[in-house]
Structure 1
Amino acid sequence: MFSGFNINFTSAKSLKLLDGDEATNFKSYSTAKTDTLPFPPEQFYHRATPRSERLTIGQDVPDTMSVEQWQADLDTLASLIRQRIPYYEAATNEDELSRRVDSLKQLVPDQTRDQRILSIMELANLPALGTGHTRVRSTQRALGWRAVPLFPYRFADGVYIMSAINPEWIGSKILAINKTPIDEVYKALSKYVSSDNRWDMWRDVEEYSIQFRWANHLKALGIIDDIKEVPIQIQTPEGERKQIRVQTLMPNSAEYISFATRSPTRPRVSEDLQWSPGAEPQRNTEPNYKLSYRDSTDILYLDLNIIVHESEDWTLNHLADSLRHIADHNPINKMVIDLRTNGGGNSSDAEPLIQLFASHPKFNQRGKLYTLISPEATSAGGIFAMQMERRTRTIFAGENSSFNPNIWGETVPARLPNSKIVVLLSHTMHQEGMPDTPRTYLEPDIKVPMTSGQHFNNLDLTMKAVKEHKPRPRYTIKLDVEEKEKYTGTYQISPVHRATITEASGQLHLQVDDGAEEPFIDTALYPLSTHQLATDITDVYIDRRLGNAHLDLIWKDTTYVMNPLNGDFELPSELIRAGKLDEAEKRLKSAIASGMKLGG
């Protein structure tokens, strides 16, 4: 996460206070009574990072460590990366990993304790896209860092304070930390943030795992001088520019817990504002999902905030049944799935919903099915969005995603032996995009940048755009029987992907299988010419070039050759089920040798 230190922060342009700016101190923090808190302060770390704390129960965190002990922890982390992360050489090749370890170990003798912690974070920040789940969380007892009691959010028009120990600061735009412009602060911290792509990097700079509200790493980078007080330059909603000085707190103190869990310092989000991604740093205590249907517009709206079953008695299967019942008995103008505040969950739990949206005739129509995304939609929420792209006719609206189509997910914690710092290591590869796709994010079809004004004025311009949206007409031609036969058949895309083009009732259809129970891609095909078929997926086509026996699958900006198959082509999972283990092993090794990273 963090790159080398020679710590004077010289890359940022200094931002001087303007004449008339006011240095505002807010030092009289109210002393919180522990008997009125939602939980005792001593439980903070256990509640914030329970898996880390379980590994450090009974472990004394050392106040001081030798240079050799810190260097040994770096070696241990490198070994864990090699042992635990599948395709680690794709995440960080061996030469690069060894070079990084040696470089970081050389820095240790001249570093402070916090700078040494940042070196561990840097090593855990793997360079490949899609590796954001491997990380060191700052909210753990082994670090013991001081927190800046405010929560920011980066809108399209800047970074704003959403919650703060002094409620008067909420809604102000952050211009700089000390004299370092806020964009330079983000840039400095982003070197050390484990992320899936650029938008996830900005999001994780703010998130609890590393965000600039931790004073220790701001001092370690030379951005502030004193970890007990952080000078922040702001512009108030009225346009006044001034400097505030924010006293830092230990996160396991009564004062900090009171700030983080109560109004007005962390305002509760009203129900009609819970759609906003900017509400996440506030107290957005929305349920797992909300479902609404409006007779006046015939819009069915699902706000899906996390992908988990509500309880054993009410699962996502029951939610799918409810959606089906509404659609069966009411007119549906548009079906909107809102993932903008979806932070993850269990991706396998979502299959009943995906199946419903892919199969119900009132949902799976072009111009009726919409999925809303933002940088806050990530992890299992991102996997859900990718499956919607591959298997339905959905139209995406909102902002670029913070998830990578192919990611390393699911983590196992590991404790470093000397510092007791816990690192989360990904152990599963999720192939939700095409093999080795160069795509790094999901781009919405309807782009609506999220500005601060939309949040603070409760203007959901993304929903407004969806309500008004009418898809452009698709001009197709009619193929004769002979032309259709040039497309129909079975094709091999990769050692583990089989494509089938069929015709039914005059409609061509593409299905790509990878051995899972459900198809990897499921889409109708629409002839644009005798040589090109469109799909239900934006910028995805089937091309047939004169003189070629194969077809080309044009996926965004990448071409995949579809080689025709004359006989049966069994996928590795089918070979395994048939007991043909040697043949399955050979096929899987062929896939890995070709550079593919097989999902778990």
Structure 2
Amino acid sequence: MKRLILLCIGMFWLMLGVKAQPATHVDWQRDLDSLACWLPRLHYNFFTVRSRADFEKGIENWKHQGNNGLSDLQMALKLQQWIATFGDLHTNLNFVPLLDRNRLLPLGLKWMDDGLYIVTAPVGKEDMLGCRLMELNGTPIEVVADSLGTLFSADNEAVRKSMVPNYLCFVQLLEHFGFVSDGKVMFKLASADGRMQLHELTPGSVNPQNLVSFRPEGVALCYRNARTLFSVHYEAADSLLYIQYNKCWSRELEEEYGNREQASRLPSFAALEDSVFATLRHRPVSRLVWDVRFNGGGNSIPGTRLAEKLADFMHQQDVPPRVYVVLGAATFSSAILNALDFKRLLGACWVGEETSGKPNHLGEVRSFTLPTSGLQVQYSTKYFKNVDEEMNTLVPDVKIPMTFDDFRQGIDPVYEWIKKQ
């Protein structure tokens, strides 16, 4: 169960581990000069949505205004909002080190098809669990989400569903947009039976020992191994081979990048391949599932090679298995490339929900550091063109959303649908 809840909180725990930046003077004029010099030079093409002239004019405006009495965090947030308007989700000014981890809301949130739900709450606030978030300090949560969404390039609704829950726990971000003024946050929630509740939370440091987690009636297969890089499951009763691919990474890739100690703690993709083909050769398989609904990317090459090997294998079979790829809001970057590989090489049926990633997209992210703030700027170094038509998302062939009631009951409607095919 603990693994399930950690997945639901997503980046929340990662952000908890980020220490606040020491209070030092930032020379924003110098940092803006560095941004103006290096971002256009290093980025593959930063000017696909807005022009270089817009960028240069914006830099001059920022330099002319200076920080204008803004704190370093406020300045960084405004710069990130501006960078986001250039349309590359991979390119960001990483403001997270400026956030104070002692000013967090002790919540874990999960955005399902029917709304934003609370899956982790403080001890003593257990009745918040499983409730839908309706308002924050009297503001509809959709309005709050729209404002937080300006901190990244929201190409589609799935991007917002993936990222907003991570940001909403930081009171400083809510203050930046004017939703919080006195540090206190009042939530209006709707319980499962439709009753409205009001709960006030005060930000502070978060101790996991003082949190309670929502406990569903059951745990769907897709959540059981959601914290691992990948896993293989064979369902004999349904002749179904289920491959869950949560990150495009592996022991082999970690070794390739020179980190042998870290590599020893990771699973082997070669072992996954061996398991997949051993099952295909020795057991009846009528359906093969490649689940990338939680996969935010990494390196696409292993997944592509597996799709090629599977295609060779399938061509030798009189009745090859039907292939399904499960998509979701978190499917992004290299996972998009692998979904396209499975469609192109294996004729896979895409099932699930629309993706945050686009089929044609910028990627291969690198970074440089601004000289006085020490903040990193991530940028794209490559453009991946995979389809002729420009699309903002991968649209499933069969759309099957997951509601919170599905999650509560431990049901994966996508898996259940595939079993019936």
The answer, yes or no, to whether TM exceeds 0.5 is yes
Show the counterpart of 2:309.
Answer: 356
Distance between the aligned counterparts of 1:327 and 1:345, measured in 2?
27
Residue 452, structure 1, aligned to residue 409, structure 2: no
Residues 107 and 122 in structure 2, CA contact (< 8 A), matched pair in contact too: yes
Q: Alignment partner for residue 107 of structure 2, among 142, 150, 153?
A: 150
Residue 163 of structure 1 aligns to a residue in which SS? strand
Q: Confirm whether residue 427 of structure 1 aligns to residue 381 of structure 2.
A: yes
Measure the CA separation in 2 of the matches of 1:456 and 1:367: 31
Cα distance per residue 1:453-511 (max 9 Å; x no partner): 11111121111222223xxxxxxxxxxxxxxxxxxxxxxxxxxxxxxxxxxxxxxxxxx
Residue 4 of structure 2: aligned partner: none
- Aligned partners of 1:268, 1:398: CA distance in 2, in Å? 24
Q: Does 1:304 align with 2:245?
A: yes
Which residue identity does 1:275 align to in structure 2? C
Kept in 2, the 8 Å contact 1:415–1:422? The answer is yes
- Kindly indicate whether the alpha-carbon contact (under 8 Å) linking 1:366 and 1:394 is maintained by their aligned counterparts in 2: no
Match of 1:215 among 154, 168, 171: 171
Letter in 2 for 1:224: V
In the TM superposition, what is the alpha-carbon distance from 1:47 to its structure 2 partner? 8.9
Residues 533-576 of structure 1: CA deviation (Å, up to 9, x unaligned)? xxxxxxxxxxxxxxxxxxxxxxxxxxxxxxxxxxxxxxxxxxxx
Distance 1:346 1:460, change over 3 A: same
Distance 2:343 2:158 in 1: 19
**1:338 maps to what in 2?**
291
Q: 1:325 to 1:218 in 2, by over 3 A?
A: same
Q: 1:107 to 1:164 in 2, by over 3 A?
A: farther
User: Which secondary structure state, in structure 2, belongs to the residue aligned with residue 291 of structure 1?
Assistant: strand
Shift in alpha-carbon separation, 1:273–1:264, aligned structure 2, 3 A: farther
The answer to whether structure 1 residue 408 and structure 2 residue 362 are counterparts is: yes
Q: Structure 2 CA distance, aligned partners of 1:123 and 1:315?
A: 41
Matched residue type, 2:324: Y
Higher relative contact order (CA closer than 8 Å, sequence separation 6+): 2
Tell me the SS of whatever aligns to 1:413: strand
CA distance in 1, matches of 2:91, 2:186: 31
Pairwise CA distance, 1:296? 1.5
Deviation at 1:216, TM superposition (A): 0.7
2:212 partner amino acid: T
> 1:346: how far off?
2.0
Partners of 1:47 and 1:190 lie apart in 2 by 20
Counterpart code for 2:344: R
Q: 1:244 to 1:47 in 2, by over 3 A?
A: closer
Is the 8 Å Cα contact of residues 177 and 233 (structure 1) preserved in structure 2? yes
Larger radius of gyration: 1
| Conservation of the 8 A alpha-carbon contact between 1:350 and 1:384 | yes
Higher helix share: 2
Which of residues 184, 199, 212 is equivalent to 1:265? 212
Give the counterpart letter for 1:265 in structure 2. Answer: V
Select which of 277, 283, 289 maps to 2:230. 289
* 1:396 positional shift: 0.6
Q: Is the 8 A contact 1:151 1:163 kept in 2?
A: yes
Provide Cα deviations, 1:138-166, integer angstroms capped at 9, x if missing partner: 432x4436322212122111111122224
Match of 1:184 in 2: 143
Given that 1:161 and 1:172 are in contact with CA atoms closer than 8 Å, whether structure 2 keeps it comes out as yes
Aligned CA-pair RMSD? 3.1
Structure 2 residue 167 is matched with structure 1 residue 235: no
- Counterpart CA distance in 1 for 2:320 and 2:237 is 21
Instruction: Summarize the Cα distance change of 1:425–1:336 in structure 2 as closer, same or farther, 3 Å threshold.
Output: same
2:162 aligns with one of 191, 200, 203: 203
Give the TM-score normalised by the residue count of structure 2: 0.83
Aligned length: 392
Distance in 2 separating the partners of 1:360 and 1:215 = 53
The counterpart of 1:133, out of the listed 90, 96, 101, is 90
Instruction: Report if aligned partners of 2:29, 2:66 keep a CA contact under 8 Å in 1.
Output: no
TM-score (norm 1): 0.59
- Shift of the alpha carbon at 1:318? 2.6
| Post-superposition offset of 1:380 | 2.3
For 2:228, give the aligned amino acid.
Answer: P
Amino acid at match of 2:172: N
5+ residue gaps in structure 1? 1-43, 251-255, 470-600
Distance 1:133 1:363, change over 3 A: farther
Contact 1:317 1:353 in 2 (8 A): no
Deviations 1:156-212 (A, max 9, x none): 1111112222451221111111111000011111112245543213312223xxx11
